[in-house]
Structure 1
C-alpha cells in the first residue's frame, strides 16, 4: 500500500495545532506550590570500629541517629500566593516517632523574603517547632520565590509530607526528578524527524518538484520544533 503524500501536510498542520493548544494550556495562569527534598543524610556516616568511639551530642543529648534534611519549597505556579490566601500554615510533617531537634532557613529567593512577614521572631520564617512538625510563617510568595529549609531530625524514616491549606491550591506537590512532558516532546520530535526522512528518499530531490517535497519538509520542521521545545523545557533550579 503506497503512502499518499497529500496526507503529510494536513498531518503536520494537525500536530502543530495540537502542540500549540497543549502549550497554551500549560501556560495558563494558575497557583501551584511544590517541594523537593534536596538531600537527607545521617549526621554520623561512619561505621565499624571508628563508629563505636564517636558520639554526636545536641544540647547535651546523644543524637547519633539524627539526620539532616534539606528541603526546598517553591511557588512553581504563575500567580503569587498572598498572605490572605493561607487558610492554614504550611508545615513539614515527618513520620510518626520522629523528633525534630532544630530547623533553620538556609536560603531564600529573593534573599530578603523574611522581610515580608510581620512576625519576625528568633526563627525567622519558621513559626514553631513541634515534635515531628516544622510550621512556617504565612508569607507572600511570588512566582518563582522559594525557601530552603535545613532540619535536624531523629528517627527519620525518609518519608515526609508538606501540608497546608491555601486558597486555589488543592495539594502541595512534590517536584518530580524526571519530567514526563519534555521526554514526550523530545521523543515525539525525533520520531517525526526520522519518519519524514524515511518517507522522502534522497534521490527524490532530483526529480520531485517543490510541491512534492514541501510536505516532508513541513513534517521534519514540526519534529524539529517538538525536539527543541522538549530540550528547552524549564527545569527546576537547585538553590542550595
Structure 2
C-alpha cells in the first residue's frame, strides 16, 4: 500500500510550485498535441520609413533617400517585412480560408512586393505567380491567395509602400482543426524559436520527475513483455508506423527482437500462408499487415487494428489542391493529361503508382476512388521522363510507399496516392481534398471522407498466449500504441463506433 505519511514533510510552497509547473506543462502539451488547432501566425519584423535622419541637436534638414519604382519617385517610402508561419499542429488547406486573409497598411499604398525566405522554396514560387501586381499595387491591402500551407511552412513578404501611415492589421478567418483555428499576431520573439521547445522539454522532464517521485509506486502498471523473435511483413503504407511501434515496444521489452520487412499487403499475407505450409514454427513468429481484408486462407487468423487513412498526393507545382472523384478517374484513364485542364498550371500530369496487384494502397485506391477501374499502362521507368514517345499520358510504377512519395515530392506535375501520415512529411506535396473533403482522420467516423481502409494484422493460426507474437498484437491494440498510430494518420479501432472495423 502506498504510504502517504511522506507528504507531511513537504512544505506548502513546494506543493504549490509543483502544481503550477504541472499545470503549465499540461496546458502546453494539450495546446500543442491535443487541441490540434490550425494556426497561421504573422510577425511584423520590419516596419520603417526609408530615410536618413540627423542626430539630436543637429540643425540640418533630413537627407531623404529617393526611391523610384518603374521610373517614378515613390513619395514617403517605407518598407515592411512580414513573416507568416503555419505554427499549428495541422496542415492548412485552401478551403480552410473561409474568409480571405488580408493584411492592411492604413494610409499607405503598396508599390512593390517580393516573396523571400520561403520554406519550401516551391511555396514562394507559387505565391509569386499567384500575386500578380494587378492584385495589390496601388492598394492598401495585401490579400493572401487561398493556398495549402503545410505544418512548418513559412514565408516572408518584403513590401515597399508609399504614404505616411504606420502599423499593420489583419482580417479574415481561418477554420479547421479539432478546436478551430485562426490568424494570430505574434510580436517579434526575444530569442530563438528553440526557447519554446526548450521550455516544453524542460517542463516534461520536471513533470516526469515529480510524477515519478510521488506516484511511481501506485501508478506503474506491470509490464507484459515476452522475449523471442518476430518478423512483421506486409503493408508498406504502415511501415513507418510499425517501425515506431517496434522501437517503443523494444524500449520496454528489451528481450524482444522485432524486424520490420514490409513487402506489400498481398505479398505479405501470401508469403505467410506459404511459409506456414512449410514451417509452422517459423510462420508463428510472423505478423503480416494488410490494407484491408486478405483473401481467404484457412490457416490464417486476422484481426482489425486501426483504420488507415489514405490521401491523393499532388506536387505543389501543379497548383491544384482539390479534385473530384470524376476528375481523378479522368486523370487515371488518360482523359485529362495537363493540370491546366483542372485549373492549375500548364504542366503535364505525371501519375506515380504502386506496382501490381500486391499493393494494398493500389487496391484501395482502385476500389474507393476509381470505382474499380484499372490504371493505365506504364509510359516511364523513372517517372520524370517518358520511354514511350507516342504515349498520350505519363505514368510510372514504384515498389513502395516511400518511393512513391519521393517521386511525387521531386517531380513537377506528379500525382500519387499514399497513407496520410507519411504523405504529410514531404514539403513539396499538397494533399488534395476529394469531393470537397480534405483528408483527415476526423472525417472518417462520419464517412464524409471515403479514401480509407481497415488495417488488419494476420498470424499463422492463433498465436500462443505467452508468445512475442501474441504480446505484440496486444500492444498494437493497447492505449500505449494509440499516440503512435495517430501520429501515423491511423485511427485505432477501439476509438471508432462498434462494428466500424468489422
**TM-score over 0.5 for the pair:** yes
Q: Which residue in the other structure is 1:224 paired with?
A: none
Query: Which of 125, 134, 150 is matched with 1:142 structurally?
Result: 150
Q: Which residue in the other structure is 1:51 paired with?
A: 63
Q: Does 1:21 align with 2:21?
A: no
Q: Does 1:92 align with 2:103?
A: yes
Report how far residue 16 of structure 1 moved. Answer: 6.1
Length-normalised TM-score, structure 2 = 0.31
Report how far residue 68 of structure 1 moved. Answer: 0.8
Bigger CA radius of gyration: 2
Q: Which residue in the other structure is 1:174 paired with?
A: 185
Report how far residue 143 of structure 1 moved. Answer: 1.1
- Provide Cα deviations, 1:142-167, integer angstroms capped at 9, x if missing partner: 11211100111112432111222222
Q: What are the ranges of 5 or more consecutive residues in structure 2 without an aligned counterpart?
A: 1-6, 55-59, 204-209, 215-502
| Structure-2 change in CA distance of 1:73 and 1:13 (3 Å) | closer
Task: Measure the CA separation in 1 of the matches of 2:184 and 2:137.
Answer: 22
| Structure-2 change in CA distance of 1:49 and 1:159 (3 Å) | closer
Report how far residue 114 of structure 1 moved. Answer: 4.2
Task: Measure the CA separation in 1 of the matches of 2:189 and 2:66.
Answer: 38
RMSD, aligned CA: 3.9
Q: How many residues align?
A: 182
Task: Measure the CA separation in 1 of the matches of 2:168 and 2:13.
Answer: 51
| Structure-2 change in CA distance of 1:176 and 1:141 (3 Å) | same
Superposition map of 1:78-89 within 5 A: 78-89=89-100
Q: Does 1:123 align with 2:132?
A: yes
Report how far residue 20 of structure 1 moved. Answer: 4.8
Q: What are the ranges of 5 or more consecutive residues in structure 1 without an aligned counterpart?
A: 190-214, 220-240
| Structure-2 change in CA distance of 1:138 and 1:8 (3 Å) | same
Q: Which residue in the other structure is 1:67 paired with?
A: 78
SS at match of 1:120: helix
Task: Measure the CA separation in 2 of the matches of 1:81 and 1:121.
Answer: 17
Q: Which residue in the other structure is 2:378 paired with?
A: none
Q: Contact 1:127–1:136 at 8 Å: present in 2 too?
A: no
Q: Which residue in the other structure is 1:157 paired with?
A: 165
Q: Does 1:32 align with 2:32?
A: no
Report how far residue 108 of structure 1 moved. Answer: 0.7
Report how far residue 137 of structure 1 moved. Answer: 1.5
Runs of 4+ in 1 over 4 A off after TM superposition: 6-10, 12-17, 114-117
| Structure-2 change in CA distance of 1:35 and 1:9 (3 Å) | closer
Report how far residue 102 of structure 1 moved. Answer: 1.2
Task: Measure the CA separation in 1 of the matches of 2:181 and 2:23.
Answer: 27
SS at match of 1:104: strand
Report how far residue 15 of structure 1 moved. Answer: 5.2
Task: Measure the CA separation in 2 of the matches of 1:26 and 1:170.
Answer: 12
Higher relative contact order (CA 8 A, sep 6+): 1
Q: Contact 1:40–1:158 at 8 Å: present in 2 too?
A: yes
Task: Measure the CA separation in 1 of the matches of 2:66 and 2:13.
Answer: 71
Report how far residue 171 of structure 1 moved. Answer: 4.0
Q: Contact 2:109–2:137 at 8 Å: present in 1 too?
A: no
SS at match of 1:26: helix
Report how far residue 84 of structure 1 moved. Answer: 1.7
Q: Contact 2:75–2:163 at 8 Å: present in 1 too?
A: no
Report how far residue 104 of structure 1 moved. Answer: 1.8
| Structure-2 change in CA distance of 1:62 and 1:78 (3 Å) | same
Report how far residue 55 of structure 1 moved. Answer: 3.4
